[in-house]
Chain A
């Protein structure tokens, strides 16, 4: 079960489990998590329960809500997130997500509409082998880089590699593509004559590139810059 652990100046103030109901955080007497600070709004923020997820929402507070140092309006809480409201720190702890496994495997519901949240939770508690680590698209970093045309009619034109895959060349004269991976930038022939890297034709499939390499395709030369 997930919980919110609130501290102020490094001292524990309160710890509270998140159940089925939404939790109001604020200065009001009626707030579920009460923050005793005049600069905190009466109803400052809320934690809403959506299925197995907890979503933090700023309720239009005067002084804002930060998650891990960034101001947010709305944020899907992940284990270890630190919510900061003025002097208060609220840590989101969810031990189930620390040991991923059951929740990471496809599971089927028996009902289709208005799925009871208790069912969702029960489904997640099913046994299953736990993968050691689970990487998400969000925390993978791909090698950044840019290509500058070093020769040809479009000399000087620079393309930063914003997408995972970038195409180069023209139909008939040869096409190639570059691929950003965590380990670096790679190039491959797509169709037509093979691209050359530093004046040598390359093997089939993705081939690694290094800083300063010159890729030649369809009569143009591209200079690779990493970073």
Chain B
């Protein structure tokens, strides 16, 4: 079975920061999308996010797809190692790391992995669902009932993540598989979006702009910047098209793919 994917993405430094420390990786032909948000003690945040996004993208693009969850874990591990190697060569990068979310669309299924507070959302039949649980201090507090959802948005601890790629602590991703349906709209984003734009507004914007993904991606960045643009903001939107009987084979390399086909079952 082949399923059409439509993809649009944007990454923006925001209004406050000079450097964009987010990185995006897309291989629409392989159905792989990655977003990473870099962090650093001294310097290297933008290096960490690029190394993370590139490594995960490369690993998954060339993976067989037979055991997607294991392959996802391996790709995240490789990203941590790659960051570690850069730190070993360049001591001022000591302490750099990245949060990341990767979505791997393969036929009727989606495999997702994440570390930190980069998120995956799904809009299905007008309803927005958060598909990832942040690895963050406030998420832990929320789970324990010590703070409310609203308070996590205002919390001074909201930027403390409990896992990150390349960090000396936990780097293990959470991985999961979900069935996809035609018409589903997926959003990968960094905290620069979800921290500033409330989920009700995200849901409304995605539902209204769903027929025009480029406009939708542009608008999400605008909405974050309208709310202060305090952080870098990155989004990838993936729309699941209707399944097709015929398998279209033309894949134009290099273009950001719109309406490109890919194959399920690892035959790509």
A residues engaging B (CB < 8 A)?
50-53, 55, 74, 76, 78, 96-97, 103-113, 115, 120, 123-124, 126, 131-138, 140, 142, 163-167, 171, 175, 177, 179, 181-182, 188-191, 205-206
Contacts and interface: CB of A to CB of B under 8 A. Distances in A.
Nearest to B218: A205
Interface of B: 16-17, 37, 39, 41, 97, 99, 116-117, 135, 137-138, 140-141, 146-148, 151, 153-157, 159-164, 167-170, 191, 195-198, 200-201, 204-205, 207-209, 211-212, 215, 218-219, 222-223, 226-231
A164 B205 contact: yes
Nearest to B117: A106
The residue in B147, B164, B208 that gathers the most chain A C-beta atoms within 10 A of its C-beta is: B208
Contact of A181 (B137, B191, B205, B226): B226
B200 A163 contact: yes
A147 B160 CA distance: 42
Contact of A112 (B163, B204, B228): B163
Contact of A106 (B37, B153, B197, B227): B37
B167 A108 contact: yes
A222 to B, nearest CB: 14
B47 to A, nearest CB: 15
**In the A-B complex, the 7 residue pairs with the closest CB atoms:** A135-B228, A167-B208, A163-B204, A110-B169, A165-B205, A131-B16, A164-B201
Nearest to B144: A50
Given A110-B169, A179-B222, A190 B207 contact: no
B215 A108 contact: no
A181 B164 CA distance: 34
Contact of A78 (B154, B160, B227, B230): B154
A131 B192 CA distance: 14
A135 B215 contact: no
Contacts of B97: 108
A132 B16 contact: yes
B196 A136 contact: yes
20 contacts: A50-B141, A96-B156, A106-B39, A106-B116, A108-B161, A109-B160, A110-B167, A110-B169, A115-B137, A115-B160, A131-B17, A134-B16, A135-B229, A138-B154, A140-B226, A164-B201, A165-B223, A166-B208, A177-B209, A191-B211
